Chain A
Amino acid sequence: MLLIQQIINGVMLGSVYVTMAVAFTLTIGVLNFLNFTIPTLFMLAGMGAWALTAKGVPIIGAPLIPVVIAPIIAIVTTIAASLIVERFTFRYLKMKYGDSTEHAIPLVSSLGFLLIIENLVRIAYGTDPQRFTALEADFTFDIAGLMIRVPQLASLMISIGIVFAVNRALNHSRIGRGLRAVAENPDAANLLGVEANKLVPVIFMLTGLLCGLAGILFAMNYGEVSPQMGEDIGSKAIAGMVIGGLGSIWGAVIGGLIIGVAEMLTIHLFGADTVQVVVWGLLLVMLFFRPQGLLGHNSIGKGKL
């Protein structure tokens, strides 16, 4: 029974990874770009929501923003930040030779942004974890002795709903079809009149939205935010994405859930210190023996870097 409870907890935790893993997989699938700002965007949303409710609007200070509105402002801020990142990683990217380190330029820029955003938040609010007490009451109900927390269940639903919406948008909207065309073959898409330059910001807006939501849901569920909160969660989302397969949205969903469950079971069976070895070991084994992941295509991410 305890084991089943841990699996349920794992799925709940996994839903946070899922949302971010989808963000990772979108940028890799369409742009062949491993965006390292995703964990910081996640953190920005969580810390932002906390700061708005506890400290008020940055620089101006007062007034404190009510808990109902703060998350929305935080998500909008995250999307804006993501667009700034787009402007300075992709907009100015010029490939002259196509050699192996040149392809890493956006990745390196995103590492730069990771440092900038995370440390700005540190300077503003310190490095200590903060309690985020948006949900005072803890609704839980149990079915046959299994405890299910309502907020967690809600965030699982929201995560899955978002993934469905994104997937549907990719398959059925004009922009979505354009994006998929770019992912398949950027040159051909260009010839067919798909304006890649106009579609790229869409990916970054989606990234901001997904990370923002994940950050808010995580902060509400686990009641704690810190400038470091993205590092651990973000790297596990990367692991989930790889296991599911780069560029595959449903792969990211499955991978994120696998990581969540694997993490909870590992903690339960071997203790918290071994989580790192299990999660990353799983990823490494996957990369060595089935680099395309569970559902991924063989071609994505093979480009030079």
Chain B
Amino acid sequence: MSGYMTGILTVLSINIIMAYAIFLPAAAGQLNLGGAGFQALGAYATAFLSAKYGTPSWATIPAAMLVGGLVGGVLAFPLLRTKGVYLVLATFALAEVIAGAILNTTALGGAMGLSVPDYVGANVPMIAAACVTLFVFYLMATRFGLVMRAAHDDDVVTDLLGANVRAIRVVAFALGGALAGLSGALYALAFSFVDISTFNATISIYVLLYVLLGGTQTAFGPILGATFFTLLPEVLRSVLPQVKAFLAGIFGQTGAIAPPDESWRFIILGLLTVLMMIFRPEGLVTRTFIERLKGALRGQGARRKGAVA
């Protein structure tokens, strides 16, 4: 495998895990706009343990998950008391506080960042991403997943039907924290360096966007969203210069043409977001879509046992 390919696969794996970290609370109806904060916790936990104590990666990775999960679980209680806009703001604020705290802790390198002596190859993030994907698919197929999805649709009635919505949401939030911690740990180990400015509000926004665009009703959504938005810049990197050259050719320009600005990919992400919210606000992959797909595979004739009453 070429270095370029392994690089992309590493980033893709980390992004998929991060997508599931945001997906779990979102599937239960809670938007977390502070994903980067939890990712930073995991990354710095790993970096610190590795740099200070030389802890091997098989121990730092679970430690990072534990830190993310614990912080998520403990803070879920006050956080999830807030609703709607308040929850979005609170998670956003939490990420800023975490980033600020790390920035001001000299033991964590402050603004200088922290070198990670340990290193893992692309296979570890890839295996981790596969495991996380399987885990989330399993979780969504359990009664726990059922209650999560129900709470997303109508938390009041879900509670009335006998499910402890609060407990479910706290667990979903904590699991999300642990997964974000894992993705942070893998980031630290794959790039051997952590810098708090990497885990900024923009990252939180991107992750939330591609999870919502992928769709939060099924576990297919995040993997699709993450893959699409990780590979999009790579595709654009090769396609955009050609488009630009082509357009320049039409306008009669010749000679060397500067490659287009990196910023275009964000504009494309922004445009897709706006268009998706207009035409398919529930995300690319919806529950109905999956059922239709299954129905198509099964054959239309067998779909209904009898006529609809």
Chain A residues proximal to chain B, CB less than 8 Å: 28, 32, 34, 88-89, 92, 94, 97, 99-109, 111-116, 118-120, 122-123, 231, 235, 238-239, 242, 246, 273-277, 279-281, 283-284, 287-288, 291, 301-305
Residues B94 and A107 in contact, CB atoms below 8 Å apart: no
Bound form: Cα–Cα A97–B153 in Å: 8
Bound form: Cα–Cα A104–B208 in Å: 11
Which of A99, A116, A120, A288 is the one whose CB lies under 8 Å from B152? A99
Task: Give chain B residues whose Cβ lies under 8 Å from the Cβ of A302.
Answer: 83-84, 86
Residues B94 and A284 in contact, CB atoms below 8 Å apart: yes
With CB as the reference atom, state the residue of chain A lying closest to B213. Answer: A108
Which of B89, B110, B153, B277 is the one whose CB lies under 8 Å from A238? B89
A interface: dominant SS: helix
Residues B83 and A105 in contact, CB atoms below 8 Å apart: no
Q: How many A-B residue pairs have CB under 8 A?
A: 163
Bound form: Cα–Cα A107–B153 in Å: 18
Give me the 8 closest cross-chain CB pairs, A-B, nearest first: A112-B273, A115-B270, A100-B29, A276-B100, A277-B100, A116-B270, A305-B84, A119-B263
Assess whether B281 is interfacial by the CB under 8 Å rule.
yes
With CB as the reference atom, state the residue of chain B lying closest to A126. Answer: B261
Bound form: Cα–Cα A230–B104 in Å: 23
Residues A101 and B209 in contact, CB atoms below 8 Å apart: no
Residues A276 and B82 in contact, CB atoms below 8 Å apart: no
With CB as the reference atom, state the residue of chain A lying closest to B281. Answer: A105
Residues A123 and B263 in contact, CB atoms below 8 Å apart: yes
What are 30 A-B pairs at a CB distance below 8 A?
A32-B85, A88-B278, A92-B277, A97-B153, A99-B154, A100-B29, A105-B277, A107-B88, A108-B208, A112-B271, A113-B274, A115-B266, A116-B266, A116-B271, A122-B263, A231-B201, A235-B201, A238-B92, A242-B89, A273-B100, A277-B104, A281-B97, A284-B93, A287-B82, A287-B89, A287-B90, A288-B78, A288-B82, A301-B84, A304-B83
Residues A283 and B89 in contact, CB atoms below 8 Å apart: yes
B206 → chain A closest CB, angstroms? 9
Residues A274 and B96 in contact, CB atoms below 8 Å apart: no
Task: Give chain A residues whose Cβ lies under 8 Å from the Cβ of B278.
Answer: 88, 92, 109
Give residues 257-281 of B contacting A (CB, 8 Å). Answer: 261, 263-264, 266-267, 269-274, 277-278, 281
Which of A99, A100, A246, A276 is the one whose CB lies under 8 Å from B99? A276
With CB as the reference atom, state the residue of chain B lying closest to A305. Answer: B84
Most buried by A among B110, B209, B267: B267
Chain B residues proximal to chain A, CB less than 8 Å: 26, 29-31, 78, 81-90, 92-94, 96-97, 99-101, 103-104, 110-111, 152-155, 201, 205, 208-209, 212, 216, 261, 263-264, 266-267, 269-274, 277-278, 281-282
Bound form: Cα–Cα A281–B110 in Å: 18
B262 → chain A closest CB, angstroms? 9
B3 → chain A closest CB, angstroms? 28
**A119-B267, A123-B264, A281-B100 given. 14 additional CB < 8 A pairs?**
A34-B88, A89-B277, A106-B277, A108-B209, A108-B277, A111-B273, A273-B110, A274-B100, A276-B100, A280-B96, A284-B97, A302-B84, A303-B83, A305-B87
Residues A101 and B152 in contact, CB atoms below 8 Å apart: yes
A293 → chain B closest CB, angstroms? 10
A248 → chain B closest CB, angstroms? 14
Task: Give chain B residues whose Cβ lies under 8 Å from the Cβ of A242.
Answer: 89
Residues A109 and B86 in contact, CB atoms below 8 Å apart: no
Which of B103, B209, B267, B282 is the one whose CB lies under 8 Å from A120? B267
Which of A94, A100, A115 is the one whose CB lies under 8 Å from B267? A115
With CB as the reference atom, state the residue of chain B lying closest to A284. Answer: B93
Bound form: Cα–Cα A283–B96 in Å: 10
Q: Known interface pairs A28-B85, A88-B278, A123-B261. Does A108 touch B99 (Cβ–Cβ under 8 Å)? A: no
Which of A123, A273, A279, A305 is the one whose CB lies under 8 Å from B83? A305
Task: Give chain B residues whose Cβ lies under 8 Å from the Cβ of A301.
Answer: 83-86
Which of B29, B85, B274 is the one whose CB lies under 8 Å from A88? B274
Q: Known interface pairs A116-B271, A277-B104, A283-B89. Does A111 touch B209 (Cβ–Cβ under 8 Å)? A: yes
Bound form: Cα–Cα A107–B273 in Å: 11
With CB as the reference atom, state the residue of chain B lying closest to A289. Answer: B78
Residues A108 and B270 in contact, CB atoms below 8 Å apart: no
Which of A115, A275, A303 is the one whose CB lies under 8 Å from B84? A303
Which of A97, A108, A273 is the one whose CB lies under 8 Å from B212? A108
Task: Give chain B residues whose Cβ lies under 8 Å from the Cβ of A304.
Answer: 29, 83-84
Task: Give chain B residues whose Cβ lies under 8 Å from the Cβ of A276.
Answer: 96-97, 99-100, 103
Bound form: Cα–Cα A119–B111 in Å: 26
Q: Known interface pairs A101-B31, A112-B273. Does A119 touch B266 (Cβ–Cβ under 8 Å)? A: yes
With CB as the reference atom, state the residue of chain B lying closest to A97. Answer: B153
B179 → chain A closest CB, angstroms? 19
A251 → chain B closest CB, angstroms? 14
Which of B104, B208, B212 is the one whose CB lies under 8 Å from A274? B104
Residues A102 and B281 in contact, CB atoms below 8 Å apart: yes
Task: Give chain A residues whose Cβ lies under 8 Å from the Cβ of B272.
Answer: 112
